[in-house]
Structure 1
Amino acid sequence: MNNHFNSTRNLQAWQRIEELQEALLIGYFVSGDPDVEKSLEIVRDSATAGIDIFEIGIPSANPYMDGAVIKRGHARVQAHAEEEAGHDWLMPYMTRLRQQQEEPIWAMGYKKELIEEGVALRLAEAGLIDGLVVPDASIEDQIKLQSAVAAHGVDVVGFVNDALPDEEMKRVCSALNILYAQLYTGATGNPLANSSTNLADLYARARTFTKTAMIVAGFGLRSGERVRSVVASGFEGAVVGSVLVARCETGEQDYLYRLISEMKENTTLADMKE
């Protein structure tokens, strides 16, 4: 599949997994969690364990669309990062992260911080990110943001789900290069949420509206088995978040890296044919 990305790193990640016959494992971490130095260490070692793309949460005072685990991650950063690294700690942190990691970095956050306060544009202009994920932005906002950051080599990630009308799904699929399929509605990391979505049907529906976009899926992926089900349904990547942030909260780094390794093992497409 020929995909046009604004980001060279996104393109290279796509090409690499196509050559290896794998799907991407995309891992979400809150920036600066549990503290700046430990966060940089965790990201570095998570790449070694198998994360292909990093989705880095930009701290928000009101992460209202996230579940309890990620909300606590935001609260930890709000409480400690400014004290240890100063009021303007985020840009230096993201600069160090970019210098440290070769993998694509997607900034995920809320419209207030990323768009209204201009954080997205500052990150893009500084060459620190490859993607932007803004779940509370409208389709119009996402398309407008893509126009603003495309020249800086950044891809905006659009959202699709079962409830999206065909007209809206067609619009987002045709406008953006990367699509994030939400497997259930509601807050992230809900331990009681079991997607009733037919994964293969959702992938096929989105794919009818785009031949070139990369389509990944997330929400509720807590195990290697769940990652495998997403990849087996056709998605080019699986997004995991709350289960990783929970390990950052408890300090169980060995457990974290074993889990990532297990999840990455379940992205091998050749195994799906068994």
Structure 2
Amino acid sequence: MTRIDDTFARLKVEGKKAFVSYVMAGDPNYEKSLEIVKGLPAAGVDIIELGLPFTDPMADGSTIQLAGQRALEAGQTLEKTLEMVRSFRETDDTTPIVMMGYYNPIYSRGVDKFLQDAKDVGIDGLIIVDLPPEEDEELCIPAQKAGLNFIRLATPTTDEKRLPTVLRNTSGFVYYVSITGITGAAEAQAADVAPEVARIKSDTDLPVIVGFGVKTPETAEAIAGVADGTVVGSAIVQKIADDAPVADVLSFVKSLAEGAHRA
């Protein structure tokens, strides 16, 4: 059982849906980013997705691309991202952290070293968007063996033939991408998402969390109402881009979490 498994078990007992927040590690700088991350659990976040900045973020829209650029320009590295998690764990040993990013920095570090370091600092799961299921031996299987969940994305274009392949080695939860395209694009619609979530859940017992296009407490509530929870990323990252004070960022996150938890 990972922290992710424990969190979903607790939420099920409480009759609540999960609220997952995404922020880019090191945006706009290490100190402010760490302060925001440390404040997320008290704002109602059940699972933290921590973005690993990368120079070629092909799945991300401009908001998160720019966040990655700001972080890199401020000196954020994979090493510093691991250190950020270590610092977070000094005061919080229960909130799951999922590292979300691309394979290149992990490959450059070395898979075995990265997985050992990730486990040591307290990372619970990985979402690596540019590694398809056909490459599971590369990172997914080793990550599972190391005790980390490997979370896969399903999309509106994941058809019945493809879905079992996507789900085969997934653990923790399934991340359903509510819209075709990049992060921060059109707003998600619960009526469109509901049948897709039901289709995925007919093939897996894992929780299904929906992200992309969730920007308001109302949408968070609507989407969480047809899934096991929802993810908000770009809307939070935009607050950080606008140089909002940490307290204002966390207040916005709290409003989103309350929306999801009302579902």
Which amino acid in the other structure matches residue 85 of structure 2? M
1:266 is aligned to 259
TM-score after normalising by structure 1: 0.86
Amino acid at match of 1:67: G
Match for 1:222 among 215, 220, 228? Answer: 215
Matched, 1:239 2:231: yes
**Ranges in structure 1 where 5+ consecutive residues have no aligned partner:** none
Which stretch of the first structure deviates more once superposed, 32-41 or 110-119? 110-119
1:138 aligns with 2:136: no
The within-5 A match list for 1:82-101 is 88-101=79-92
Aligned to 1:109: 101
Aligned length: 257
Alignment equivalent of 2:158, drawn from 160, 164, 173:
164
Residue 14 of structure 1, CA deviation: 0.7
TM-score normalized with structure 2 length: 0.89
Q: Does 1:65 align with 2:59?
A: yes
- 1:184 corresponds in structure 2 to 179
Residues 1:118 and 1:242: Cα distance change in structure 2 (over 3 Å)? farther
Is residue 221–residue 240 contact of structure 1 (8 Å, CA) maintained in 2?
yes
Alignment-mate amino acid for residue 225 of structure 1: E
In the aligned structure 2, how far is the partner of 1:166 from the partner of 1:25?
A: 27
> What is the aligned-residue identity percentage?
25
Give CA-to-partner distance per residue, 1:127-164, whole Å, 9 cap, x none: 43101001121122246523201232210111112211
Distance (whole Å) between structure 1 residues aligned to residue 9 and residue 101 of structure 2:
27
Q: 1:45 to 1:90 in 2, by over 3 A?
A: closer
Query: Does structure 2 conserve the Cα–Cα contact (< 8 Å) formed by 1:107 and 1:131?
Result: yes
Structure 1 moving runs of 4+ over 4 Å: none
Once the 2 structures are TM-superposed, how far is the Cα of residue 239 of structure 1 from its aligned partner? 0.7
- How far is the alpha carbon of 1:174 from its aligned partner? 3.6
Shift of 1:218: 0.2
After superposition, what is the alpha-carbon deviation per residue over 1:178-197, rounded to whole angstroms, capped at 9, x for unaligned? Answer: 2100011211112xx13467
1:203 aligns with 2:197: yes
